[in-house]
Structure 1
């Protein structure tokens, strides 16, 4: 029987809105999965972390985290067919930064509607800026590129989803290489300011791509070091197989299976493997505090994911279901089994979301 872990970013409602949202949410299958459990634990995010809880959790589950840094770049490169060699690589996301009333702010990259042709043109015009600075820029997908910067070993970066809608003064890359980043960023911004691709974007009512965001740095050496540390500490575990649904580019690149719909869930049950399924459809409304959209996407998961999983548990086709639900400040992890679902004395409730 298969073991399924569901990672659901922003499926845990913000605490101040949780009572109203759980009353409005009609999700009996989720309630059963959350209530009839063999284990449950809430973990707050470390205050020093510059990523979101689910990003760090996934990196740790895949053996890619160094402390509070999810070093996903080299694994993501291999996922899109690139060879990282022996360099230090960063995930690079093209983005839009704007001036808010008193500070710089970055919007959610999901809403940029960056088309393939535009992304290619911007990539090609920015690459000379990187090369002149002694860096390499590699194409992954339209919204996920990779930058080689071997000297940036001490820079401290944040994930774009952690920095979105925040005061960027507190989230910009920092450390000894921060000045080099700012110079490169300025060169790219000047190049993109007059780029025809941005003119075309503005003509169709879209924001220009005016900056890039590096994060998730890793190298083959750091990956090996992390594996050795985990082995020495007795914490080395088998890496789960990864599937992704409506996930950001870096996470889709880590996935063995990229699902176009949740109807493909049955394909994960063909063997007795451990699967980690990351569903990102709730993230955009969660980040934007669009609670009507959040409820809509959670109802979608109830119909297309939670109810089918509960039925498969009842049939004994799944051995365990682990739920990892998060918001900005922490995550809730629960585990249920066919045996736990027989605990008739436990009333199904969404109260664990509070």
Structure 2
């Protein structure tokens, strides 16, 4: 029998919106899993964290800094050094401040990414290719730099999310050099002619030392994310051959809610939850009921923390517990 953990980033809506959103949800399977549980734990994220709770949870599960874990997923194994994940990005002006656009919607072709990568590479101590949207940089002297994930920073005043620390000035200088290098480059001119945003900067995060693969890394799968593609860094954490399907053992990440919630599009969030009800929650409930899954753990997150809810076939027999969505509230 399978023991399954399902990680659902942004399944917990903001407290002020949760009652209204819950009233507009028709999700009986999710209600059953939330209400008739054997374990319910609340976890608060670190107050000064600049990554989202599910990103921190995944790094802990991987047993290594995210940069090292993601590099392994791309079959890269640095022997030494301090590495960061790097994304080519679009930064836009919103009223009187800068905003980082959703990296999932950049639509950067590999050929164009290769051109920008090759232009930028001489400016880095070491820059390594992962895929069109995921590169890696070595910066041993930047170990104390506190960086934010792109999803944590997305849509907010970018000044609040820029790398901080004693070497932040060095990052800013490098970023300015790359921005000037890519400004009005033919790749970006062609993108704009096609109605696409220019790739005008880079973003780095997930830094840590090169680290060997831990022996206790769980089997992990990442489900497809509807209209928004799964970021390469997240897909790289998946175990080769692992299937993202109800009833499978190990950890399954469902990233479908991230774009809507990070962009504060709660109508789209409701639609995505309804789709998860049909494609995931109902089959997961059925797997518990027929015994093919022995234990199901839901890891439901929001910006400040997460809830861990565990269900079993025996817990589902707690008929005296009303099946409601109240555990979606914070």
The bucket for the TM-score relative to the shorter chain is: over 0.9
Q: Which residue of 2 aligns with 1:249?
A: 232
1:169 is aligned to 2:159: yes
d(CA) in 2 for partners of 1:157 and 1:169?
Answer: 12
- Alignment of 1:287 onto 2:281: no
Pick from 195, 203, 226 the counterpart of residue 213 of structure 1.
203
Q: Give the counterpart of 2:194 among 200, 204, 217.
A: 204
CA distance in 2, matches of 1:110, 1:327: 19
User: Which residue matches 2:217?
Assistant: 239
Secondary structure at 1:146 match in 2? strand
Write the mapping of 1:134-153 to structure 2, written as runs, cut at 5 A. 135-153=125-143
Aligned-residue offset at 1:102: 2.2
What's the RMSD between the two structures over aligned residues? 1.8
Question: Number of residue pairs matched?
Answer: 324
Alpha-carbon contact 1:3-1:318 (below 8 Å) kept? yes
Structure 2 counterparts to residues 24-35 of structure 1, below 5 A: 24-35=24-35
CA contact (8 A) 1:244 1:257 kept: no
- Output the TM-score relative to the length of structure 2: 0.93
In structure 1, list runs of 5 or more residues that go unmatched: 65-70, 228-236
**1:345 aligned partner:** 320
Cα separation, 2, equivalents of 1:195 and 1:306: 47
Q: Which residue of 2 aligns with 1:194?
A: 184
Give yes or no for contact 2:154–2:263 (8 Å, CA) kept in 1. no
The structure whose residues are more often helix, as a share, is 1
Equivalent positions of 1:273-312 (< 5 A) are 273=249, 275-312=250-287
User: In the alignment, is residue 85 of structure 1 matched against residue 63 of structure 2?
Assistant: no
Q: Quote the Cα distance in structure 2 between the aligned partners of 1:220 and 1:120.
A: 24
1:157 aligns to 2:157 (yes or no)? no
Give the aligned partner of residue 234 of structure 1: none
Residue of structure 2 equivalent to 1:127: 121
Q: Give the Cα separation in 2 of the matches to 1:100 and 1:121.
A: 28
- Say whether residues 1:97 and 2:86 are aligned partners: no
5+ residue gaps, structure 2: none
More deviation, 249-258/289-298: 249-258
Deviation at 1:96, TM superposition (A): 1.1
Distance 1:174 1:333 in 2: 31
SS across alignment from 1:277? strand
Q: Displacement, 1:240?
A: 1.4
2:310 is matched with which residue: 302, 317, 335?
335
- Distance in 1, matches of 2:31 and 2:240, equals 27
Moved over 4 A (4+): none
In 1, Cα distance between the equivalents of 2:68 and 2:27? Answer: 38
Show the counterpart of 1:14: 14
Deviations 1:196-217 (A, max 9, x none): 1111111111111111111111
- The CA deviation at 1:257 is 4.7
1:68 maps to which residue? Answer: none
Equivalent-residue separation in structure 1 for 2:140 and 2:3 (angstroms): 39
Query: In structure 1, what is the Cα distance between the partners aligned to 2:241 and 2:279?
Result: 16
Q: Match for residue 265 of structure 1?
A: 245
Q: Distance in 2 between matches of 1:244 and 1:85?
A: 27
State TM-score, norm by structure 1: 0.87
Preserved CA contact (<8 Å) 2:11 2:302:
yes
Q: Which residue of 2 aligns with 1:48?
A: 48
Question: Alignment partner of 1:151: what SS?
Answer: helix
Alpha-carbon distance, 1:155 to partner: 0.9
Give the structure 2 partner of residue 315 of structure 1: 290
- How far apart, CA to CA, are the structure 1 residues paired with 2:241 and 2:187? 29
Whether contact under 8 Å (2:53, 2:305) holds in the other structure is yes
